[in-house]
């Protein structure tokens, strides 16, 4: 795919789709990673005299204006980070926006209002895509985190303008693409999270590529139940007992080392003051619930990670938000931080865990995409990427 580096940008009006969908608490940004990660693209354009028009969604306002989801705090934070003013529009299309764009000087930056205030955004309405396109001469997609959505500002607009990737998009595709198409070996994939349903396609795809697959989190207990073990009150997906057995069969057939927990932390409550116990996986008491991997499993997983040349991690090992159940996810994060292998952290929960444990700067790549990096690992084409111009 063509990138912003392959085109002339000086003096041009450039519509840049970014993913500024950042977490907010009482109007304050609690994690600005996604904003900081787009600075290279914005600076690149601004320094070369482009007139930069930024567009993003924030939250899920469902096609209506929601005051608490305006991008005003984002514009302020971006301005601080860039060290220069960022103009903010109160809308994303229309005459007022056109006037603000027309007033932009070379190198200046304007942030449009939340594109999801318009019903046409998520419907990928051609009219809205055209209205966005009319604001600019060039389209740059730097929103890797939203690339799995075929929306007007991520996909539709690319059909109306020359369309290239931004520097963050390029980096994400490069790292994830290389990891999955030509992995350094041994390649260990870590798949956690609560639900089997959310991880079916990623496990299926990784069985074709990885040397080791490490399983943790709520989805593990379905594997135990499928083996006929007592899992007490633990999370289970009774409709997918055969499917998870099929995963184990396929892994065996392909010579993939498929690692499941050997012990777990069980608790009597989903809370910070729960009573807990450590048991082997074949001794989960009937009235208890498993919430994390146990110490033997932590050791086994850490050893596998230490011996890997490449590690890709998606999904926590337990309920890491709660003190009694954070050790498994912490141990995996520490093992990733310590290994000499290359580490790629899928966005969303795993990235949040790594940040919570302050191990972010010890990882080689933390994806800014949650759903997008998951779909990428599933081997799916991302509509926001497909729509960009080829070389």
Catalytic residue status for 348 = yes
Query: Cα dist. 294→217, 234, 291, 317, 337 in Å?
Result: 11, 15, 9, 10, 20
CB 361 to ligand 3PG: min, Å: 22
**Under the criterion CB under 6 A, does residue 37 sit at the interface with ligand 3PG?**
no
Point out the residue whose Cβ comes nearest to ligand 3PG.
Answer: 21
Residue 34: active-site member? yes
CB closer to ligand 3PG out of 56 and 297: 56
d(CA 244, CA 29) in angstroms, rounded, equals: 39
Q: At what angle do helices 349-356 and 327-338 cross, to 10 degrees?
A: 80
195 in catalytic set: yes
Given the residues 156, 218, 315, 348, the one annotated as active site: 348
**Does the protein bind ligand 3PG through residue 21 (CB under 6 A)?**
yes
- What the block records as the tokens of 136 is 């600019």
Q: Which of 88, 149, 225, 240 binds ligand 3PG (CB under 6 A)?
A: 149
180-216 exposure pattern, b = at least 16 Cβ within 10 A, e = fewer: beebeebbbbbbbbbebeebbebbebbbebbbbbbbb
Helix (H, G, I), strand (E, B) or coil at 381: coil
Interface pick for ligand 3PG out of 370, 376, 382, 388 (rule CB under 6 A): 370
Cis bond upstream, residue 186 (ω within 30)? yes
Residue 77 appears among annotated catalytic residues: no
Q: Which is nearer to ligand 3PG, 75 or 244 (CB)?
A: 75
Minimum separation from the CB atom of position 58 to ligand 3PG (A): 9
Please give the Cα distance from 135 to 329 (Å, whole number): 46
Question: Based on CB atoms, which residue is closest to ligand 3PG, 152 or 281?
Answer: 152
In angstroms, rounded to a whole number, what is the distance separating the alpha carbons of residues 368 and 357? 17
Nearer of residues 149 and 225 to ligand 3PG, judged by Cβ: 149
Return binding residues.
19-21, 34, 57-60, 116, 149, 199, 321, 347-350
In the complex, which residues of this chain contact ligand 3PG (CB under 6 A)?
19, 21, 60, 145-146, 149, 370-371
């Amino acid at each position: 795919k063509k990138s912003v580096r392959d085109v002339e940008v000086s003096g041009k009006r450039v519509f840049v789709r970014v993913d500024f969908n950042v977490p907010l608490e009482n109007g304050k940004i609690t994690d600005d990673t996604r904003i900081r990660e787009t600075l290279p693209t914005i600076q690149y354009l601004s320094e070369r005299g482009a007139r930069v028009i930024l567009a993003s969604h924030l939250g899920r306002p469902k096609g209506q204006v929601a005051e608490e989801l305006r991008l005003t705090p984002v514009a302020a934070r971006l301005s601080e980070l860039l060290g220069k003013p960022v103009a903010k529009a109160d809308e994303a299309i229309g005459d007022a926006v056109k006037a603000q764009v027309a007033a932009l000087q070379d190198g200046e930056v304007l942030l449009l209002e939340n594109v999801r205030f318009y019903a046409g955004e998520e419907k990928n309405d051609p009219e809205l895509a055209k209205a966005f396109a009319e604001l600019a001469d060039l389209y740059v997609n730097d929103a890797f985190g939203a690339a799995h959505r075929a929306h007007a500002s991520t996909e539709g607009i690319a059909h109306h303008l020359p369309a290239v990737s931004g520097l963050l998009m390029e980096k994400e595709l490069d790292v994830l693409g290389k990891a999955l198409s030509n992995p350094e070996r041994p390649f260990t994939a870590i798949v956690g999270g609560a639900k089997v349903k959310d991880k079916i396609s990623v496990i299926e795809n990784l069985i074709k590529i990885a040397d080791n697959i490490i399983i943790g989190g709520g989805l593990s207990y379905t594997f135990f139940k499928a083996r006929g073990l007592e899992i007490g009150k633990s999370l289970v997906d009774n409709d997918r007992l055969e499917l998870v057995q099929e995963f184990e069969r396929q892994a065996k057939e392909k010579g993939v080392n498929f690692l499941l927990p050997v012990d777990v932390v069980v608790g009597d409550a989903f809370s910070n003051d729960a009573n807990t116990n450590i048991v082997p996986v074949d001794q989960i008491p009937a009235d208890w619930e498993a919430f994390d991997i146990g110490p033997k499993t932590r050791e086994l997983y850490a050893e596998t990670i230490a011996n890997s040349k490449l590690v890709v991690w998606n999904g926590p090992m337990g309920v890491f938000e709660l003190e009694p159940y954070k050790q498994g996810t912490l141990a995996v994060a520490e093992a990733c931080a310590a290994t000499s292998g290359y580490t790629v952290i899928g966005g969303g929960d795993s990235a949040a865990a790594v940040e919570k444990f302050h191990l972010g700067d010890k990882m080689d790549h933390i994806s800014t995409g949650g759903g997008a990096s998951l779909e990428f690992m599933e081997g799916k084409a991302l509509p926001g990427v497909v729509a960009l111009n080829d070389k």
